[in-house]
Amino acid sequence: MSALSMSRLPTTGGPVRLAGLAILVAGAVLPLLPGVPEFWITLLNAVGLSALVAMGLVVLTGVGGLTSFGQAAFCGFGAYTTAVLSTVHGVSPWLTLVAALLLTGAAALLLGLLTVRLSGHYLPLGTMAWGISLFYLFGNLDALGRHDGISGIPPLSVAGHALYDGRSVYYVIWGIVALAALATVRLLDSRVGRTIRALRGGVLAAEASGVDTARAKLVAFVYAALLAAVSGWLFAHVQRAVNPTPFGLNAGIEYLFMAVVGGVSHIGGAVLGAGLVLLLKDQLQVVLPWLFGGSGNYESIVFGGLLVLLLQHARGGLWPLAARLLPAPAAPVVDPAAEPLPRRSVPERGGPLLEIDDLQKSFGGLAAVRNVGFSVAAGEIVGLIGPNGAGKSTTFNLITGVLRPSGGRVRLLGSGIGGLPARAVARRGVARSFQHVKLLPEMSVLDNVMLGAHLRGRAGVLRAVLRLDRAEEARLRREAALQLERCGLGDSLHRPAGTLALGQSRIVEIARALCLDPLLLLLDEPAAGLRHAEKQALAALLRRLREEGTTILLVEHDMDFVMGLVDRLVVMEFGARIAEGVPADIRNDPAVLDAYLGGIE
Ligand code: ADP
Ligand code: MG
């Protein structure tokens, strides 16, 4: 099987690896060298602290597409939790870390529930709103020392040694940055990570694969907040004092700025962005007063200008430029020996699978679907045809839970599914493709299709971060590769989905739908954009699926394609069903001929 045996070998860049190693070694010995000024150590420590927050933004904003200006407030949660517990209650700093994570996690969950539902620009505005509120909360609570804050925070200690100076705490900070980077890489390369990545493709396709997108947003939100809390906790013990200033909206904007400058969807970009911004800010504070004289706050102005320039000339931030020097990441290996996923039991052929009665949907005054009723038996291929605007796609959306019916019933194997959310319908075994293809163009074809197998895996965040999900991931990946192979795309697994022709992307959507192991497959114009030979291959695939027990309902415009393939046809016009029968009868049905006269065919 070519798809399965195909797995690119990891590229090894000898000199690059050496350079990487050199940077690591230099980083490790730097604080030990007596000639290195304290200033550099302080700066590097600050970079590490900021990189933690920016890394959270990589997950939340860069990968998940949810922009937050409020991350500094979560640093504040971490910092104040440990400040209060360690000064007032004398709790050891390492224990307060647990408290900081719990408290921030709870706060993020609450704020996330309120915020991530917001869409478009309301979301960043929402994060600004609570970013500002929390800043004032920190500054007005007596228990938190109001605007003076809390001082006298003990330093961290490791094995009985108190880390008073920057050089010793340097290792703790960068050790934590390394751990956070590892956890983040693992999270993003997992079943949960796929759901966060899928958010960018719009919620429809993800929900149709059974993904709870609200949950995926919350996971990203809480994860980013926890990284910010760790940063704040560290900050409190490095500074030994906290006050509200570093946790306000300005800081929140700066973190986002770092993430964007670095290249907001790359973990390396978080470190690069934090480093560049802090270094630049520091240097500008020296250079600008010297250039312009006086003590004005010029650096913010220059900064704004630089950001505009960057956004115009390097939208992806600076990491992609740096990454050119790195070897290309190896494509994931498809393991042909991974254990096959369990399959659903197939209903008895010929029994009723989908029954639709008196289905209604109106958009304002427009009755897009009116009194539509038909049924599909297990093992059939049924075609739904009709002129443009007849209500075919709307009918699909009503069956698959994308839209709520205004009236009528939809039953699958006898139980009602009308009005259920899309992911609940998916869970019952209904998979679909979209008339307007919904793939993630930057993600590989294989990863796109693996999303379809979401419901057949179970691993969550913890298993992902601990890497206990590898066996399951291998099974999901094998399934996706098999479905792609079956659909004739076995040689395109590792291509970005955005490089495919439109016709091929439709086939990728079919492979993704097949990964759900569906009882019923709904295909909205699957052959549009395909060449003749590709259409024949598609027809052969659909026939094979029927033989294997999958039931198919499809919308199609190409009459030759439909007539030779389907068992029965349902014809719609102006939202109503006007005919139903075998292709030979439909071809001569006066109502159908009438509907199509001067129509699209
Ligand atoms: P078909 O797939 O048969 O070409 P559709 O189901 O897409 O037709 O559309 C049926 C009718 O409903 C069209 O007039 C269309 O403009 C309208 N329609 C579809 N979706 C919406 C929507 N979300 N809001 C308003 N009108 C819609
Ligand atoms: Mg349509």
In this prediction, residues 153-158 reach a mean pLDDT of 92
CA dist list (Å): 210 to 128, 215, 519, 524 = 32, 12, 14, 18
Positive or negative, the Cα torsion across 434, 435, 441, 444?
A: positive
CA–CA separation, 467 vs 479, rounded Å?
A: 20
- Tell which residue, 473, 470, 454, 566, has the closest CA to residue 512: 454
**Would the CA dihedral through 243, 249, 253, 255 be positive or negative?**
positive
Tell me the CA–centroid distance for residue 555 and ligand 2, in Å: 8
User: Which residues have a Cβ under 8 Å from the Cβ of 547 and sit 6 or more positions away?
Assistant: none
Tell me which residues have their CB within 5 A of the ion that is ligand 2.
Answer: 393, 435
**pLDDT value of position 46:** 97
Q: Which of 385, 388, 394, 600 to mutate to test the pocket of ligand 1 (most atoms within 8 A of CB)?
A: 394
Query: Is the model more confident about 5 or about 370?
Result: 370
What is the pLDDT of the chain when averaged over all its residues?
91
What is the Å distance from ligand 2's center to 160 Cα?
69
Residue 83's CB is within 10 A of a number of other CB atoms, namely 29
Q: What is the per-residue pLDDT across 408-456, written as a single tens digit (0 to 9) for each?
A: 999 999 999 999 999 999 999 999 999 999 999 999 999 999 999 999 9
Nearest ligand to the CA of 571 is 1
Residue 14 CA to its chain's centroid (Å): 33
Residue 73 pLDDT class (50, 70, 90 cuts): very high
Q: Atom 18 in ligand 1: which residue has the minimum CA distance?
A: 368
Q: Which domains does the chain have, with CATH numbers?
A: 44-248 (no CATH), 352-597 (3.40.50.300)
Quick check: CB of 292 below 6 Å from ligand 1?
no
Distance of CA 104 to the CA centre of its chain: 22
pLDDT at 601: 44
C-beta of 363 in contact with ligand 1 (< 6 A): yes
Measured from the CB, is residue 391 less than 6 Å from ligand 1? yes
How sure is the predictor about 202, in pLDDT bands with cuts at 50, 70 and 90? confident
Other CB atoms within 10 A of residue 437 CB: 20
Q: pLDDT digits over 242-259, tens only?
A: 999 999 999 999 999 999
Instruction: Dig out the tokens for 472 from the structure.
Output: 């399951």
Q: Which two tokens stand for residue 245?
A: 């200033």
Spatial contact of 218 and 109, defined as CB atoms under 8 Å apart: yes
Spacing, Cα 363 to ligand 1 middle (Å) = 8
- Indicate if ligand 1 lies below 6 Å from the C-beta of 394: yes
Per-residue pLDDT at 14: 67
- Among candidate residues 551, 541, 560, the one with its CA nearest the CA of residue 484: 541
In angstroms, the CA 163 to CA 312 distance is 43
Q: Please enumerate in sequence order all residues whose Cβ is within 8 A of that of 398, keeping only pairs 6 or more positions apart, or say none.
A: 359, 361, 369, 404, 405, 410, 418
**pLDDT grade, residue 296 (50/70/90)?**
low
What is d(CA 392, CA 285) in angstroms, rounded to the nearest whole number? 63
